[in-house]
Structure 1
Amino acid sequence: MAVQITLQLRNKDLVKVNDHVYCSPRWSQRDGTPYSVARIMEFLPPEGTEKGKGKGKETYTRVRLAWYYRPADVSDRPVTDPRLLLAAIYSEVADITQLRAKCHVIHRDKISDLSGWKKRPDRFYFNRLFDPYIKKEFEIIQSADVRNLPDHVKEVLTSRYEYVVAEKEVVPDLTDNVRLCDTCSEWCATPDTVQCDRCKKYFHMACVQPPLIAKPSRGYGWTCAPCSRRHEEEVDSHEVRHPTPSGKPKSNAPAARGRGRPRKDRGQAEREEISDIKHFKMWPFRYFGQYTIAEDTLDPDDLIFPRVATRVGPKFQANVGNAPTAENTEAIGADERGGPSTVEAMSLVSQMSEEEGQRTLYAVEACKDGLTTNRDLQSSVDWLTEVIHRFTDAYMKGKGPTTVNMDVLMHAEKWKKYESRYTDRAWTPQEIAAFDDGILIHGAELRAIRDEIGTRTMPEVVRYYGHWKNTKLGEKNKRPLGDVVYPSRDEVKKRTGGTPTDDDDSSIDLRPTRANPACGACRTRESKVWWKAPKGLATNILCDTCGSNWRKYADLNVRPVREESLSSAKNKAIEKREGTPLGGPAAKRAKTFSTSLQSTPPPVSHAPQLRCQVCRKNGPLGRVLHCQRCQFRIHAGCCGAIVDPPDVESWTCELCQNEDTLEASLNPDCLLCPRLKTDRKAQRIWPPPDSFLRACKPTEGQGWVHILCSVFVPEVSFTDATRLRVAEGISTIPRQRWTSRCTLCGEGGGAVIRCSDCVKEYHASCAWKNGHRFGFEIQPVKNSRRDITTITTFRGESGSMHPLVCCKEHNANRHDIYDLCDTNEIGETALQHYCRLYKQEKVAQAHALLRKARRLDLILNVRNDATVLPITEDTSAPERRCHECQTQFSPAFYEMSPTSSPFVPQGDATAWLCHKCHFSMIEPPPLTGIEPIGAEPMAGILVA
């Protein structure tokens, strides 16, 4: 039986699977939009962690949610009921910190008292489904109401799903009685069924004699053979009686429910809330409409999503011409679009030799001033692209770079009959004003904006929108000069007369626009709790009632603002009663909006930022971790930390944790760095908290290594690359790395790495202290090596990822280097991405002790006549026992014959030695000068 998982939200609500919750990101990210309503499908562990282990003791940081839509989110029609939702067969994975509070959502048919249901807080209902892919709404009925199905299909459908999704015109057929063919007595499916217009019986189109090829056209009826013969007899006998036209045909669909009479039976409403809902594979409904085959329902893997008609016909097919033959090849024009002659090279710099390419690039830089005097044009991407295009054309024709002329703005492609501009003409103030109005009205719908402007083509509008958006982002992220002093929380409390709620809105500065604040919606001045208001209102705060209604129900009844209230001077001199009619003309009234979804950009966040010690960039708490003991700050992705949201503020680094847990040595010195020449009695110098070298990880020998050193030394790997723990393979570093001297510190101890652009060798920590460039580069892979090389994609660039270290003297622009903290689309840092793919030890092939034993075999040069026999699960194998210590348990046994080993008595034909006894009898090689093995103590080795 599955373990029931129950989690507690921030507001102390307990939620479990299939509960409904409010979900929303932070206020600064959602731009003031209301909460979303969703159903919890399942709780998930952190990304990269396997699900289903721990028997209910896992740590859950994510949740899969099935979304509901508000009618205003998917259509423009006004809906006055704020409690009405639209279901959807659409789910997403969100962070568990986005869950706000618990709510209740049930189907309309399960509510006996709708008016009483809507009077209770946090109650919603739905009766339709919206598909976000085909942009269409469908009806939802209870599966128990479906009757027109075969028994075996109906039983499976009702046992698995609580609801059925279908088109509106299909619902009466589904809820009708079982329709059986009058000829074969089999179930009549709707697509291939015809009904007699007189006797109202159903027939398969193939069961009719003669079989019907198609159904009657709309407006025409069909009668079966007996009814048709009977009708002919009535006509011949002149006894025809025309039936009285009936009204609207009776439908078996469920009747529309009204608002209902309020009831005082509170227990009935509570029973409706906790009623059991059937779920199959986490969904309570499936599509069973016009384009569904009934027998497909029996397949548990059949798709449950709504479907549309198959697009078959000449309208949806491609017209492919005949293949070229010897007769029609000559008839094809030489300049036909798509032919070889129409291919126009935009840039051939990559195909030039290095000398030619450098000469061309130098020519571009040298000719910039000669090509144009407009500084803005010299930095334009379109202009530079056209310059490279024309330099390439001159190169192909054998002309020099000085022959390029950029005075001509137009150029003609070979396949076009007209010339096109390489850069758009300047936008007039009227066009810019029309573009701004279109943005306010239509948002990012660029086709509608193009129609508003009227004088620009679609490509021009798209390019201008890109420049406009970059300008807005630059203005948003631009910091004002000087020190900005914000009021303290106590001052805000005094101004607002209450305590501003943190909720999810703590990232916005909650400062009222006036000393005596008022709600931006209802204009009240008294409230115990104030909420942040969406943009477009007179004030930036809402009272407790309006704030809750806006976030939960998207209901905000804005009262108009008086002209006098906009002036602080008039507000002090004249006090008027609230709610009086507006005295001024309508043109002078302040504009008020009920929502801010279309007008303004998201507000600027003033949340405290933490600076990472690796990239020296700021980030919010949670993405940048802050050690509570040593004040060390680092991006979570650069130290392999996976922290639960409630534990972010109490996070401590691994060196500080080791003081309590004693997991590794108390000596924090890195095993890959040179030894500190300090007196043992003196106090040991710990890594400083303001440097990346504070980030250390334990090794398999209970030592410590810097994360920087372990990542950029190729022989070191990790047992768990996601958390960068535990470092292995230090003993396999070649002797040459230990004996070489660092060119920066001059010391001979420690393992050195080589610069990517020269032959200099130095310690990774020394290179970091001296400001060398660390990063990762995506290098292309040859086709012959793709089978043996790990290929990855980072920020859209595919290839093999390599770590690079460049001296300060070199030009780092030669390489496209990703810094350690650069992230991809899913928020994974470059260091985290590289370690996950290239630094993960193969833990599935052998356990840690056996991996260590194999490395020892390579170090100590075990003789070839010693056969290593790993442990197997074969119970039929003979029992092995160590000849020395008589143990039966060892990661490996070694077969030693009397002829090859002096340790085995001559009377035994075959003897075994365990791993420990085997290596204790082998004389280790002498260690001269350095101690690469002694740096990481290993059990089973006797060092003289």
Structure 2
Amino acid sequence: MSDIKTAHNITETELSDGTTIYINDHVYLASEHLGEPYYIGRVMEFCTSHKRKGLQVRIAWYNRLKDIINRKSADPCLLVATMHSDIHPVSSIRGKCTVMHKYYVPNIDVYRKQQDHFYYNQLYDRYIQRVYDVVPCETVQNVPMDTLEALKSRYQFIAVEQGKAADLTVARRICCVCQQWCQSAVSVKCAACQKSFHMSCLNPPLVRKPSKGFAWQCAFCTRQEQLAESNPDSPIASVTSHTRSSSSKASSPETSESQQQTTKDLSIAAATAAVVATKAELKRQVRATRSQVKQQQQQETLALNSMVAEDAVNNMTDTSPNSTKTKPTIKKEGPKAQQMNMTNMWPFRYFGVNTAITDILDVDDRIYPRAKSRIGAKYQANVPDFVPPSRHSRHSSSTPASRSPRGSWQEESSTKKELQDILDRQTPISQDDMASPFSASSDMTSGMRPTRGTDDTVTVIYRPDILSEGTIDRYMDHVKELKNIPLPPYNSDLMDRALYELELNNYDTDTAYDNMSKLNGDDFKHIVEWTPAEIEAFEQSIRDHGHDLNYAKAAVKTKDMADIVRYFYQWKKTDRYEPVYSEWTKVYRPLKKFKKFPRDIKREAEEARLEKENEMAAAKSQEDTDLTIVPRSTYSSKPYQCMNCFTDQSRIWRRSPSDFDRKRKVFSKVLCNDCGIFWLKYAKIKPISSDTRIANMTISSNNAANSSSQLGGDHKRKRGELLGNMKKRSKEDKEYMQFDPSPCTICHIMSGPADSLYTCYACGMSVHHDCYGVKHKAEHIGWRCDPCQNKKKPVASYNYECVLCYNTTSKHQALKMTSGYCWVHVQCAAFIPEVKFTNPATFSPVEYIGCVNPARIEADCSLCDDKRGACVACSECSKSLHVQCAIDSNYRLTFEILPYNAKNHRHQPNCPIIPAGLFGPGSASGIMVPQIICPAHSLTGRQLIRIDERTANESRESALYTFCKNYKRISSNSTPAMRRYLASSAFMQSKKAHKKIPSQFDAVIESLSMDASLSSYAGSGPCRSRAILTSSSSSSASKSARSCSQCPAKFSPIWWSVGANPYSLQRLCQRCHNKEQFNHQHVH
């Protein structure tokens, strides 16, 4: 039973803003989900509920077009009506609006410009999922009069299938024979005289309507044409020709009065001639009945009288010679909401192709749209009648040819005789087996068993209203006191047998009691004793297969299925049920909750009361807050600007249409109150002119400048500190450090400048900010290393393996992302000179992995024997090894300062030089070269800087950061495309591999030379490869120097370097280069 009750005495209510809502008003309602506009509906009635707080309202919904066809409508004011309603609290109403049918809107353009005005002309049914046209009942004409009166008195609109409304709004069609209404499906229309006839009223009746593209003509018009063709000079011929021309085109308003009068006279003359011709034809009709002749005479008389009366009326109305006939206009006035004709609170009624005309007269007929019937041969299978099987007898030997015309009933009588013989041979059923009709039917065939559910299988146990309730109670009390029956007083078998004895003894309580006193345990066949072994087998079946009793029957073969089912329902109420059945539910139904027996009524009532209070509190908190409004607590922390009109002045800020997060605390995109309300009402962003946007942007910028100028430095500092503390507190509330700080993974010490040690909140790895490349002034709280950040917001590969050493033995790996979205160790990238960093401050992304010397790739690591990756050589013994393998084996990673002479290195005259005393009083000046030295070698006499040392100046930078800042940076003139081309060209040069790994000093000089060449040719292309692209931006000197070394050519699409040295100043043009490649191929 529903908890909703109609409040008949409430017809209006007042909202919190003072707006009064009446029944049949159209209102806005708040959406249940964020990102959706207001719902629009009509107030049907006010309701109350003991389960819901506050006054409720029943709303009839209107849908927007995008909600039905999933397509944006060009007109936001267009709605689609529905016949679906819901109950909502009155507090969800957000305002009033106006919704009218399009028929009642005099000027649609003016109406749409009015605020909060909507219109509709269609209805959507969500069950059939079809759209119907909505037609006002006052425009309906082509229906019977009683049906039309019922429609107009009970409904305001009817819903019909699309395209069917025109057939209902035309003039009423009357059959010229029976003078009754003509339905389009069962009537035809004459193509000449435009009169309608029932197909059954024609003589002979018309079986079906003409096919598409063909017309039908009545007998009278056909006879007129025949007479006109036989006598062209007769007045009938002229009238017929005139009728044809007038029926083929509509009469124009410019027709003169004389022509109209001539037409009327000719029509009357034609009608008179038709009467004469018809009488002559009737005399020739042999099969015409008297009723048909009389009916035809009445039709002719009515036709003549109507024509004469119409002529007289027209003569009286057309008094002036210049008067013209005008079409009457219909005054379309929208019905007031309180005056709409409704039935069951709905102004709509389905009146489509699946409705019978007579159904409208029934007040209780279903008014909702209905689909085509699914009953019939088209949808159901044709199942033949059931014929019971019969045994072969001597009567079945007759052949089909010898059967008489009455063979069907003879066969049926013989079948019945055979069935009777079989029944007579069956043993009679004793009285003891009456309670079980199928107990004696084991010898019956399946065809002879009675059908279940019929009177043959029903055993009457007790009939009420024969004895009084007091008599029955006294009889049952006496039976329960009997000692000869081994059943408890509450046993259902005992009660059923006591009532059954009353039925057998004609409800004589004394006789029934005497019979009950003579019974013992053997008379109750359902009393079955279960052994402990059978109980254990039954419970094990429940543990393994749950409630599937077929497995229980297979486990307990000594009991029938009836005994097992009876025992199961008795056992289910015992304490053994939950511990046994829970073993099955733990695997297959882990969310199963068992009911407690006996039930605690007080506890359940208390839980229900608490749950109801919680629901009411949640509903109250939800009603008091509008989720579309940005919380006012955020207004002071951030100045908002409307994303549509760009204004920064609004009393209320609302969420953007794309904001679906209910728990959002920071809002980057908002709408002002005007733009937000417009979108909520019309589901469309409010159109704003460009001039208004520019003006609002100017005002906003001026306000921002004024506010910033008024704030002093102290205020800025305090506000910044306040915001910083607030962010810090918010992060502290969300993030918790689960790891203790450990030594830096790169330099292996914990000491350093204040707040320089960072610990990853995800993996616990600790690094110094200048050893790992942490962003400047990054927050310690919640900081994550690059791999852990990639796990949270993926941008690179999930395979966290260094592509330069493939060493994954260490617990914490200081990895950085490459330009190819792979990973490398910071130490591996720093100690291989060819590899560089795009941003030396953050050591990422790592570039030029493809530019690594091929000798490093071909070398095998002497520590791990892994052929993958790139190796470096010991500066003393030239042993090849991976950088990370050297770290794991306690090799020494240092930076050696070597002297540099610019005259001996022409390719790199501007090499970075480390000043003397940078790392202390004893540090020399020179080039900083990364070195890996075996533990057995001596370090005396060498200027080495350990990786854990820092500069002696105020900055206290690590040695690794100092090296990368000076020797690992990439030219600012290069682009990602140039660097990719340089790497790919180096891969093409990998065939000309070096025999051994170059020294670290030479590799550093070569890498600097490579970067300098890339910087010098930034306008023309990468120079790491042998191909040098020409450019118009090159200087004239470079163009003059760029000439072929083998021919006098000075212009070439591509310049190629000579020899193996990619930095040679000699060049080859494209033509000479092709010749050299051709000769080289033929030689080899």
Greater RCO, 1 or 2 (C-alpha within 8 Å, sep 6+): 1
| Larger helix share, 1 or 2 | 2
Give me the TM-score of the superposition, normalised by structure 2: 0.32
| Greater Cα radius of gyration, structure 1 or 2 | 2
Q: TM-score, normalised by structure 1?
A: 0.36
Higher strand share: 1
